[in-house]
Structure formats: C-alpha cells, structure tokens
Amino acid sequence: MTNTWKIGDIEIKNRVVVAPMAGISNAAFRVTVKEAGAGLVVCEMISDQGIHFRNKKTLDMLYIDEREYPLSVQIFGGNKDSLVEAAQFVEANTKAAIIDINMGCPVNKVIKAEAGAKWLLDPDKVYEMVDAVSSAVKLPVTVKMRTGWDEAHLFAVENAKAAQAGGAAALAMHGRTRVQMYEGHANWEILRQVKENIDIPFMGNGDVRTPEDAKKMLEEVGCDAVMIGRAALGNPWMIKRTVHYLETGELLPEPTPREKIDIAKIHFDRLIDLKGEKVASREFRQHAAYYLKGIPRAAKVKAAINQTEDKATMIQLLDDFLKKTEENPVVR
C-alpha cells in the first residue's frame, strides 16, 4: 500500500486524518496536528444557517491557515437549499480543498435541526443531500456519518452506497451509532462491510487510541485511511507516532513533560493569534488539561489553569509545573 491517496483530485500524503471536533478543531489546533504530520485535517462543523445569516462567529470559524492545506471544511444543516448555499459559499470564499457533509453528529441541538445523525434513518435523504451539494460545487464532496441511529437501524451499508451514488468523493464512518454517542465500543466489523460495498476512498473512525490501533484498523477494516479524533487532544504526538509507525513499523517514544509543555505553549500562542488573549485563555483551559494528561501530580496546576484569564498566568503556571516535575521526577 502506497502512503499517498486521493480524494477527487486532491492528493493526501499519508493515511492519517484528524477528525473534526466541535469546539476543538479550529486553525490553532489544526496547524498543530498538521505540523505533527497529519495527511488531512478537517475543520469543526460549520452551520449552514450561520453562513446563510453571515453570523460573525460562524464566518470566523472558516479562517484557514496556509500551513493546513489540504483542508476539509465540514458543514451541516437540515435544509437542502441552505446546505447547497453553504457549500457554494465555502468554495467561493475559503481555501478549502474539500467540502465535508456531517451526517454523524449525535448531539441534540444538531438533531433537532433535522441535521447530523438524523439522516441515518433515511438512505434516500442521504442520496438527495449529497447529490444536491456535489452537483452544485466543483470541489470534491465527502461525507462523515455513523453506522446508524441505533442497533435496530443499522443502515450503514445502504447509507454509504447512497452517499456514493449521490456523488461523494470519499466517506468517513464512525463505528458507533447515534444512540451510543461516545460510549461502548466502535463496531469495526460494520466498517469492514461498508468498505467492501463501496468503491470510493473510505476513512475508518472510532477507538483508534494508539499507533498499533491505527495499523490494526487499516488491516482489519481494509479502509484507505484512519481518522483519529479524541486521541489527538493535547497529543499531536499520537499523529506523529502513528504516521511514523505506519511507514516504518517503529514505535517512537512517548513525549517528555518538557516536549508536551513546549507544544502546549505554541498551541496557546496560535489560539491567541486566532481569538485574542481573553477568549484564548479560557478556551485553552481544556486543551491544557489534555496536554498535562499522564504527567504525575498535575491536579493542582490543572485546577489553577481552570481559573486563568491571561497569557502571563497561564505560561507561568506551565513553566513552574515543568520546573517542579523535572526537579522531582516520578520514577516508574
């Protein structure tokens, strides 16, 4: 298997894709995982209504850093006309290489808008929406979905074939149902069945927590790429280690506390550039907790970071914690 593959005419340099995560996958995060080696990054989902009404917060989410290319922008919505309008707006006004339609978001707010995972109950609706969007834009259109609504409505193969028939250039599927949310286990067997029934590139998603998991998914599911989500939070090394492992079979060591905190500070600076110090300081609290995960004795600094409102305090807390950690390492 060669490392490069294509979505439409867009070449992806390796088999590791970073999933879109709401509230996480802004340009600061995406550039950080891209620099760690991700072949493709996907922007957090953008509301078609937000684009229609030119909502400032929505339009700000469409900022793309040139270092991210090729980038996929994910849109969602329940109305065919507004979804088409959103796709055309993204094509005309951003540097997106790919447009992705969300059919997998399990949260109630999105479901109530007749969007996200709601479509998983109706393959005809999947076809209709994908066909409308792919016919209206020149960029390749992809779809991200779940295996089904619940165990009684697993239309994974039917929905995947409907997306392909509608003109999807590639498909990503999370191996959980909507009802599962993020609980339980991802069903890789259903993902394997989907791959066997479609001809377009397929990205498997769900329960890829280590480089070894990524290799296992590629082998067991037969997918063209693995899509990694939560395992990359505060952990761009997961991407770097996975890319390296898939290419060489060698497992790179886990990052040191210093490496973690150095990258955390770079990520924080990017978030400040994107959103300003006050908003970035608040948003970075959750990222900092992920970066500190696995470093012993981090509970106190995490609690302090959760009260932080400015850059100087955030950096001071991280630096002081690192100094203490390096002066008194925990021997395992």
Contact 175/190 with Cβ under 8 angstroms? yes
Q: Is 270 annotated as a binding residue?
A: no
Q: How many CB atoms lie within 10 A of CB 164?
A: 21
Q: Is 211 annotated as a binding residue?
A: no
Measured CA to CA in angstroms, residue 250 lies from 169, 243, 247 at distances of 32, 10, 8
Q: Is 144 annotated as a binding residue?
A: yes
**Omega of the bond leading into 70 within 30 degrees of 0 (cis):** yes
Whose CA is closest to 1, among 227, 231, 226, 251?
226
Contact 186/207 with Cβ under 8 angstroms? yes
Active site residue 43: no
Q: Is 206 annotated as a binding residue?
A: no
Kindly tell me the sign of the dihedral angle through the C-alpha atoms of 240, 314, 21, 9. negative
Using DSSP, state whether 38 is helix, strand or coil.
Answer: coil
The catalytic position among 19, 96, 105, 295 is 105
In angstroms, the CA 289 to CA 110 distance is 27
Q: How many CB atoms lie within 10 A of CB 214?
A: 26
Distance of CA 158 to the CA centre of its chain: 24
User: Which amino acid makes up residue 87?
Assistant: A
Q: Is 174 annotated as a binding residue?
A: yes
* Termini Cα distance of the chain: 38
Using DSSP, state whether 210 is helix, strand or coil.
Answer: coil
Q: Is 27 annotated as a binding residue?
A: no
- DSSP-assigned beta bridge partners for residue 205: 174, 227
**Binding site as annotated, residues for FMN:** 20-22, 74, 144, 174, 229-230
What residues act catalytically? Answer: 105
**Binding site as annotated, residues:** 20-22, 74, 144, 174, 229-230
